Chains A and B, each alone.
Chain A
Amino acid sequence: MTYPADPLVIADDAAISDDPGEKPPSAVVVRGRGSLVFRRFRKNKPALVALVVLVLLFIAAFIGPFVYKAVTGWTYSDQDYSAFLSPPTGSHWFGTSQIGQDVFAQTMRGLQKSLIIGLLVALISTGLAAVVGACAGYFGGWVDRALMWGVDLLLVIPSFLIVAIISPAFQDAGWIVLVFLIAVFAWMITARIIRGMTLSLKEREFVLAARYSGVSPAGIIFRHLIPNMSSLLIIDATIAVASAIIAETGLSYFGFGVQPPDVSLGNLIASGTRSAFTFPWLFMFSGGLLVATTLAVSVIGDALRDALDPASSRAGSTK
C-alpha cells in the first residue's frame, strides 16, 4: 500500500490464497506493488541463487581482504620472495604469481575495483539516461532535437576506441576518470527508450493535473515522470552493471583501463592469459569470478524484469 496511485495494485482474494485460514474469508487483500514484485522475485529460484552469489561476492571483495590478511598476512601489494608461481596452498589460497604476488589478495582487490566501477557506471549512466530522455520527451521542440542529435552522435562514435585512446592520458587521475568515460558511452539507448515513454506519459491526466496546478517542469520530470518509469530504470541499471564490468575488464585487458599498480579483474586476466595453460591458477580464478559476477547480475536483471513487468505471466500471477 505504499503506492496507492499505482495502476498495478492488484486485488487478491484471500479466499483462494495459499493460506485461507489466516484471514476472514470475506476480506480482500490488496497487495501493493512492492510486495507483489517481491513475491514474484522470491518465486524465481535462479534469481535467488544469483542474489546469494552476488552478496557473497560483495562480502568476499570488501571484507575478504581484511580476513585474508588476518589469516595469512598477505595483501594485494605484497610479494612473497620465497614462493614464486606456487600453486594454491594453505598460505596462498589461489597460489602466487611470477613475482610472488598473492593471487587471492589480488583477485579480491580486482573484484572490488570491478564491482565499484560497475555500480558507479550503472548509477551515472542510468541517471543520465533518465534525465536526458525525460527532458527530451517532455520539452520537445529544439531541446528534443538537440539532445537526440547528441544521442545519435554518441551512438556512432566507436566508444571502445575513444575510451582506449583517452584513458591512458588520464593515468594520474586514476580509475574514476575511467568510470566517467565508460558511463558517457553507456546511456544512449536507454535515453531513447525513456524519451519514448515520456512522450506517452506526459499526456496522462496526472501529469496534466500537475502542470495545470503550477508544478515547475523540473518538478514534473523528477517527481512525476521519472518515478513512473522506475521499473525500466531499475532493470536497465542492473544490465548496465554487467556491461560496465565487461567493458572495464576489456579495457584493462589491453592496458587501457585500470593502471598498475592498482589491479582489476581485467589486468589479472590479461597477465594470466599468457600462462593460462601452464599455471592455470593465474587465470582461472579471476576469470571465473568475473563470469560469476556478470552472470549473477544478469540473472537478477532478468528476474527483475519478470517481476516488475505487469504483463508478465511468468513466476505465477499475483500469488
Chain B
Amino acid sequence: MGRFLLKRLVNYLVLVVVATTLAYIVASLALNPRSAYEGRNPPPPAAVVDQQLTAYGVNDKDPLLGRYADWIGGVLLHGDFGKTVTGGDINDQLGSRAMVSLRLLVLGSIIGAVVGVLAGVVSAIKKYQVTDRLITVYAFFFIATPVFFTAVLLKYGALSVNQAAGSTVLYYTGYETPNLQAGFFGHLADQIGHLILPTLSIALGQIAFFSRYQRNAMLDVMNSDFLRTAEAKGLTRRRALYKHGLRTALIPMATLLAYSFGTLAVGATFTEKIFGWHGMGEWLVDSITSNDINVVATVTLFTAVFILISGFLADVIYAVLDPRVRV
C-alpha cells in the first residue's frame, strides 16, 4: 500500500508542476500587463513602464523562461508568490482568500460526496419506487443546471424567506458581517449563517452527480454472484448489502471523487463571484480581466495543490477499500 500511495503522490506532484508551468506560460503569452499603464494620463514614459514591469517580474521583453524560473524559485525557496500587476504583494491576500475558498471547497466536497453516495445507495435499493424516482428527478435537474443558475435561485429563495420571516435569517452576501461585535460564538454563528447558501449551491450539484454514479455502481453490485453467496451463507439482505455490496460499489466512486474536484473548483468560482466571497475563484476571474500573470499562476498552483491533496485522499480511500492495490 505504501508503494502504491508513493507512486500516486509522485504522479500528482508532476501534475502540479505541469499544470502550474503551463498556466504561467499561457498566461504570459496571452495576457498583456502593459494595458494597466496604457490608459493613464499623462502616459508614463516607456522606460518607466518597462522598469516597473521588470520589477514585478511580468515584463514581456524579459525572457519568458527566466521570468518563470524567478517566480517558481521565489515560491519554492521563500514562499514568495510575487507581486500583482499593480505592485501589491500577493502573499498579503493569499492567506485570507485561501481560507475563504477552502471553507467552501472542503465543505462542498464532503457534503456532496457523503450525501450523494447515500442518496445513490437508497436510490439503488429502492429501484423504481417513489424514492428512487424523486432522487432521479432531483439528480437530472441539478446535473443539467449550472452553478450560476442554482446560486441565483438560492439567493432568490433566501430573499423570500427573509421577507417572510421579517429578519435576515439567511445571508447571501459575503462570508461574514463586517464590523460585527458579537464575541467568539457570535462570530462563529455569523460565519456559519453566511456559509449555508454558498455551500448548498455547490453541494446540490455534487450530490446529484455522485448519486447517479453511485446508483449505477450499486445496481451492478446488487446483481452480482457474491451478494447472492453472502445471503446464501445466512446474512440478511441488509447486512449483505452494506457489508459486501456497498464496499465494492464505493471503489469506482474513489476515482470519480478525484475527477470531480476540477469541476468543483470551477463551480466554486461562480459561487464566490455571485455571493460576493473574496476567495481564490473571484481572484482568478478578476486577475484574467486585469492581465495579472502572477495571480493567475498563484491561483492555479493553489487549485492544483487542492486537487493533489484531495486526489491523494481519494487514492487512500481506494487503497483502504480495494485490497488488490495493497499488495
Contact = CB atoms under 8 A, between A and B. Distances in A.
A124 to B, nearest CB: 21
Interface string B4-36: 000000000001001100110011001100000
B309 interface: no
Interface string A53-92: 0000000000000000000000000000000000000000
Interface string A285-301: 00100110011011100
A166 B148 contact: no
B274 interface: yes
Interface string B248-280: 000000000000001000100110011000000
Contacts, number: 85
Interface class of chain B by DSSP: helix
Interface string A268-299: 01100100110000010001001100110111
Contact of B30 (A157, A166, A291): A166
Contact of A273 (B31, B141, B148, B303): B148
A156 B144 CA distance: 24
Interface residues of B, number: 35
Nearest to A242: B144
Given A158-B300, A160-B266, A169-B30, A276 B156 contact: yes
B296 interface: yes
Nearest to A286: B149
Interface string B277-317: 00000001100110000001000100110000000000000
B90 interface: no
A291 B155 CA distance: 17
A162 B148 contact: no
A290 B31 CA distance: 31
A161 B149 contact: no
Contact of B26 (A165, A273, A298): A165
Contact of B19 (A158, A165, A249, A254): A158
B22 A291 contact: no
A109 B155 CA distance: 27
Contacts of B156: 276-277
Interface string A183-208: 00000000000000000000000000
Contact of A161 (B140, B144, B273, B296): B296
A161 B284 contact: yes
B266 A250 contact: yes
Contact of A157 (B22, B284, B285): B22
17 contacts: A156-B18, A158-B262, A158-B300, A158-B304, A160-B269, A161-B23, A162-B22, A168-B288, A250-B148, A253-B148, A255-B289, A273-B148, A273-B152, A276-B152, A277-B155, A277-B156, A298-B143
